[in-house]
Amino acid sequence: MGNTNITDADIMKLCSTLAYTDVHINVCSTMTVDGSAFNKPQIGPAYLNTAKASHLLQQLYWQEHFVPVMQTKGLMLATSERELIMHVNKALLQPWLYTKANDAILKSIITYNDGKCTKRVVEIIKQALVDD
Query: For residue 52, which amino acid is it?
Result: K
Could you tell me the pTM of the whole model? 0.77
Question: What is the model's pLDDT at position 132?
Answer: 67
Give every CB contact of residue 22 below 8 A, 6+ residues apart in sequence.
Answer: 40, 41, 91, 92, 95
| Residues of the chain under the 50 pLDDT cut | none
| pLDDT value, residue 98 | 96
Distance, in Å, from the CA atom of 62 to the CA atom of 86, rounded to the nearest integer, reads 23
CB 86 within 8 Å of CB 25: no
pLDDT of residue 130: 85
pLDDT of residue 14: 73
DSSP 8-state code for residue 4: -
In this structure, are strands 75-78 and 24-25 parallel, antiparallel, or unpaired? unpaired
* pLDDT for residue 4: 66
